[in-house]
């Protein structure tokens, strides 16, 4: 029964310890969070200063995970460089060791008095001033942190629990395996500070576990990266490169340190046998400090080669995609806008062709509920969106250097790629409607299919004419394009009336009306976009004679 009681104390002590850490962290973030964010924004590209800020920030917020996740956010926002990001993270690992030192202090007799700090913080909580309340939250966290440590110490001091832990660790007395256990435990707790706290308390109550403690805390340095890794999954390529690089060097560092400690384990642990048992915990805490400081000193000068490796090892999916889709945009031509604009025009022509293919595949999908090309349409739509963004970015780059005449072309091209992108969206809308019709077992009548096919034929003619006008700058064909657009307006009205006449005669299912109306409306809008593209050579916003 005593064993069960002490295990409960151990678990509750752990909960209290982690809760205390969270209280401290939340209070400190409230007190200093805004200042930290401002500091991050103003940080200079100085590796030593960045590392110092990373260490200081983590010492304040008591969480390397919180700091590194914040770094990932700034990297994603483009507010930090690779060198700044990795330096801040390396510094964060040094800053997090302060928690281990605090835990080690619990082995001293005065730690009991540190718990009283929680009462002072409790009193501060009655003040109306939010700043004082935040300080009170920090003090409460600090006090209950030590209370949790005392509870864990009491549980670990029981001979039965000590013997059980010794037996378990002795049975797996293999350094690499112990390191993996330390990493997994940290991944579960999402806090290297919590893991190190448990390990240091455990070693403090039983100095015979010091050998396992070294390997466990080294493993914790790897597991501590889990929050950062998770944060980077939805971030940009720069954040992924920094995070993945840090993970790699931390794993390599932990493995090398484990091998070194393993190699000198006999003289090292013989020496530690002569250290007073009360000082063993502080020795392990100091080891985490020394290891992380040495790691920082070794890795910090290597940020440039690490960045070069990361650029090669972790490719930007967008860049890979760009290599296969973008054929004409060249950043080397930005300083010669007149040439760059010619290349943009060629790229737009390719984008227009992708939209052409998708538009008529989408129309066929809806007319015949043929979804065999669905994945192809969706993949091509991704390409169209990518081209739209890439061309827009490129136009922005050259606009600042362009002449007045070139600026007019740039303005026109903005409107053109927007019209093309909208045509691609309509094609996907047709696909979505086709899926819905199929799920409801609805089909257009043969007469309706024939009418829509004739409308599609006019759109094909408009597409050919619009592309020709845009590519060859053929002003003579603008009138014909305008006439075709008028024809699509007439066809929309005619086919809409025909559909309702068929419904009156019970020749058509009324459930098809929303689909029939939506298809006609979207086809008409496609005609409008094609007219805009053709008229872009004389008016960036499209056909002057078109309706609003």
Of 416, 349, 355, the closest CA to residue 380 belongs to: 355
Q: Which domains does the chain have, with CATH numbers?
A: 2-314 (no CATH), 323-535 (1.20.58.220)
Residues 6+ apart with CB under 8 A from 292: 93, 94, 96, 97, 221
CA distances from 20 to 12, 186, 196, 470 (A): 12, 17, 15, 67
292 vs 295: CA distance, rounded Å: 5
456 vs 512: CA distance, rounded Å: 19
C-alpha triplet 202, 283, 138: angle, nearest 5°: 70
Tens of pLDDT, residue by residue, the chain (548 residues): 566 766 676 677 667 766 766 666 566 555 544 555 555 555 656 788 888 888 877 776 656 766 777 777 667 655 678 888 899 898 888 887 876 676 666 554 545 556 667 778 888 888 877 778 777 777 777 677 667 666 665 655 555 655 666 566 667 778 888 888 888 877 766 667 767 777 877 777 777 777 788 888 899 889 888 877 877 776 778 888 899 999 999 999 999 998 998 888 878 777 776 766 567 778 888 888 899 899 999 999 998 899 889 888 887 665 545 555 677 777 777 777 888 888 888 889 989 999 999 999 999 998 888 888 888 898 889 889 888 888 988 888 888 777 777 788 888 898 999 999 999 999 999 999 999 888 888 888 889 999 999 999 999 999 999 988 888 877 788 889 889 999 999 999 999 999 999 888 888 888 889 999 999 999 999 999 999 998 886 765 555 444 33
Do the Cβ atoms of 481 and 533 come closer than 8 Å? no
CA distances from 211 to 107, 166, 315 (A): 19, 11, 41
Nearest-10 crossing angle of helices 175-189, 210-223 = 50
What pTM was estimated for this model as a whole? 0.50
Residues 6+ apart with CB under 8 A from 312: none
């Amino acid at each position: 029964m005593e064993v069960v009681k002490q295990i409960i104390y151990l678990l509750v002590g752990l909960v209290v310890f982690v809760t205390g850490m969270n209280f401290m962290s939340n209070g400190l973030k409230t007190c200093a969070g805004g200042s930290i964010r401002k500091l991050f924004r103003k940080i200079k590209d100085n590796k030593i200063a960045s590392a110092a800020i990373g260490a200081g920030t983590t010492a304040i917020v008591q969480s390397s995970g919180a700091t590194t996740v914040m770094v990932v956010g700034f990297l994603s926002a483009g507010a930090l460089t690779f060198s700044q990001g990795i330096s801040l993270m390396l510094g964060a690992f040094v800053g997090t060791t302060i928690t281990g030192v605090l835990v080690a202090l619990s082995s001293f007799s005065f730690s009991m008095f540190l718990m009283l700090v929680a009462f002072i913080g409790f009193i501060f909580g009655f003040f109306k001033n939010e700043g004082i309340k935040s300080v009170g939250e920090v003090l409460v966290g600090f006090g209950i942190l030590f209370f949790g440590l005392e509870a864990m110490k009491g549980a670990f001091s029981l001979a039965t629990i000590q013997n059980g832990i010794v037996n378990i660790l002795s049975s797996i007395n293999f350094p690499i395996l112990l390191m993996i256990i330390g990493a997994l435990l940290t991944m579960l707790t999402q806090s290297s500070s919590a893991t190190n706290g448990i390990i240091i308390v455990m070693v403090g109550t039983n100095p015979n576990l010091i050998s396992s403690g070294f390997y466990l805390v080294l493993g914790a340095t790897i597991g501590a990266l889990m929050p950062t890794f998770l944060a980077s999954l939805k971030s940009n390529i720069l954040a992924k490169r920094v995070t993945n690089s840090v993970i790699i060097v931390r794993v390599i560092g932990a493995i090398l340190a484990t091998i070194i400690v393993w190699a000198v384990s006999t003289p090292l642990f013989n020496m530690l046998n002569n250290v007073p048992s009360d000082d063993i915990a502080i020795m392990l805490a100091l080891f985490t400090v020394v290891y992380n400081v040495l790691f920082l000193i070794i890795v910090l000068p290597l940020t440039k080669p690490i960045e070069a490796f990361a650029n090669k090892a972790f490719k930007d999916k967008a860049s890979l995609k760009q290599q296969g889709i973008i054929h004409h945009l060249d950043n080397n031509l930005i300083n010669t806008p007149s040439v760059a604009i010619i290349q943009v025009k060629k790229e737009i022509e390719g984008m227009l062709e992708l939209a052409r293919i998708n538009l008529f595949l989408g129309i066929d999908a809806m007319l015949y509920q043929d979804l065999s090309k669905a994945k192809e349409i969706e993949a091509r739509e991704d390409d169209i969106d990518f081209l739209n963004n890439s061309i827009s970015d490129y136009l922005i780059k050259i606009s600042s250097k362009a002449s007045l005449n070139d600026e007019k072309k740039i303005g026109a091209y903005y409107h053109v790629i927007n019209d093309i992108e909208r045509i691609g969206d309509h094609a996907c809308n047709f696909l979505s409607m086709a899926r819905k019709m199929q799920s409801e077992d609805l089909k257009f009548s043969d007469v309706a299919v024939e009418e829509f096919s004739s409308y599609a034929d006019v759109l094909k003619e408009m597409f050919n004419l619009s592309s020709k006008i845009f590519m060859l700058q053929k002003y003579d064909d603008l009138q014909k394009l305008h006439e075709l657009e008028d024809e699509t307006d007439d066809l929309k009205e005619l086919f809409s009336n025909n559909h309702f006449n068929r419904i009156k005669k019970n020749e058509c299912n009324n459930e098809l009306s929303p689909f029939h109306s939506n298809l006609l409306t979207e086809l008409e809008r496609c005609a409008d976009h094609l007219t805009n593209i053709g008229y872009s050579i004389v008016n960036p916003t499209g056909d002057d004679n078109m309706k609003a």
